[in-house]
Amino acid sequence: MKAAIISLGSVSSQMVGDALKNYFDEADMIQLKDIQVNLGKESGIFYQGKKLKDYDCVYVKGSFRFAHLLRSIASILELKVPYMPLAANSFTVAHNKLLTHLALEQRGIPMPKTYVTSTVAAAKELLKQVNYPIVMKFPEGTQGKGVMFADSISSASSLLDALGALNQPFIIQEYIETGGTDVRAIVVGDKVVGAMRRKAQKEEKRSNIHAGGTGEPAKLNRELTNIALDTAKALNADICGVDILESPLGPLVIEANVSPGLQGVSKVVPTIADDIAKFLFYKTEEVVGSKNKERTEKAMKEIALKELSGDSPLQEIITELQFRGERILLPEIITKITKFSDRKEYALKVKKGQLEITEFKI
């Protein structure tokens, strides 16, 4: 089988790409910036001027700045690639904090109280109603960038005056005190394959590793595990990083990332890249096998229709056999084609690896 990662070529992407080579026959690294999307009658994905090769699995990932391009690429590839771990809509939803919040809220996943405003004037009115301290951030951004803290209405107003010049909406969220710690869980399929508890540097409230935070291995209880899994499902992502606060109010999700960085978590969970590669291989194998089975069943039905309409030459059918104990069960369509019944007798010719059944006629 053949796999590819379409990404910006980060260290995390390369880690998974190297691990894929241990499982797939081919594993290509494709630079997102060299991708061209053609729409219309000649729609397709082109890489360095040539049509993208056929793959059994394509893992598309990248920065929020490329969210719409990532969605476009995934939308086209979904029609022909057997397995992709991220649905097309996951890019535009997960790369926008407001849309992420709405998606999780619809699933009943706990999050801090959140407000969004589009003007400074509206935000200043809101500042009179909230409890301090608060978190202020832009809808888009990762690694803790664009996240600000205000411990009073005066400091929040000053931040708003500065943000107003950027002319874009911003999110106001209640600040949850956890001593500068949170949990990053990496979801792969229906499992949390790794988790770490992160702690912010002194005088820093952001615990992100990219913001200078430190991490240690974390063992999640059932509640935290289920919250992480439900978050990934809400975003239609088989691979996802989920950040959770362990607060006095209970676990609260503060962020989800469908292109999670692995450098930090791999220091405490060294197998993380291999876990992802292994999952991609076995999931692709499962999906490809299922699609082959569907094609076989469709072909068998077409053959059956021809048989029912009259005689036709001997047909070869490739299929899997089912067993009940030590007995072989043939597909139902075989009975329809052969017109075998329990009222007749049959001659069997058997040797290792071969079985021939013909109606016995006296």
Are 357 and 346 in contact, with CB atoms under 8 Å apart?
Answer: yes
Higher model confidence: residue 160 or residue 184? 184
Is residue 252's pLDDT more than 90?
yes
What confidence score (pLDDT) does residue 215 get? Answer: 79
pLDDT tier at 206, thresholds 50, 70, 90: very low
Question: CB–CB of 260/273 below 8 Å?
Answer: no
Domain coordinates in residue numbering, the chain: 2-93, 113-175, 291-359
pLDDT at 60 > cutoff 90: yes
Q: pLDDT digits over 94-145, tens only?
A: 999 889 999 999 999 999 999 888 788 888 888 888 888 998 887 776 555 6
Element (H, E) at 45: strand 44-47
Per the model's pLDDT, the better-predicted residue between 135 and 311 turns out to be: 135
Residue 305 has a pLDDT of 58
Question: Rounded to an integer, what distance in angstroms lies between the CA atom of residue 224 and that of residue 251?
Answer: 7
Q: Which helix H or strand E contains 356, and what residues bound it? A: strand 354-359
Identify residue 236 by its one-letter amino acid code. N
Largest CA distance in the chain: 102
Number of CB atoms found within 10 A of residue 356's CB? 9
Name every residue whose Cβ is closer than 8 Å to that of residue 275 and which is 6 or more positions away in sequence.
Answer: 188, 193, 194
CA 94 and chain centroid, separation = 10
Mean pLDDT of 251-267: 92
Query: What's the mean pLDDT in 284-295?
Result: 77
Does the pLDDT at position 72 exceed 90?
A: yes
> Who's near 331: CB < 8 A, 6+ residues apart?
297, 300, 319
Cis peptide before 133 (omega within 30 of 0): yes
C-alpha 344: how far from its chain's center?
Answer: 53
Residues 6+ apart with CB under 8 A from 7: 13, 29, 30, 31, 32, 59, 60, 61, 62, 259
Helices (H) and strands (E) in the chain, counts: 10, 19
Between CA 11 and CA 259 the distance in angstroms is: 12
Q: What is the edge-to-edge ordering of all strands in the sheet holding 26-31?
A: 26-31, 2-7, 57-60
One-letter amino acid at 276 equals I
Q: For residue 210, what pLDDT is reported?
A: 44
Average pLDDT of 274-278? Answer: 96
Output the pTM of the full model: 0.76
Assigned CATH topology for domain 113-175: Dna Ligase; domain 1 (3.30.1490)
Q: Which residue shows structure tokens 């089975």? A: 293
CB 192, CB 162: distance < 8 Å: no
* CATH number of 2-93, picked from 3.30.420.40, 3.40.190.10, 3.90.320.10, 3.40.50.20: 3.40.50.20
Residue 264, C-beta contacts closer than 8 angstroms, at least 6 positions apart: 184, 196, 198, 209, 210, 215
Q: How far from the centroid of its chain's Cα atoms is residue 82's Cα?
A: 14
Burial of 182 (0-12, 13-18, 19+ CB in 10 A): buried
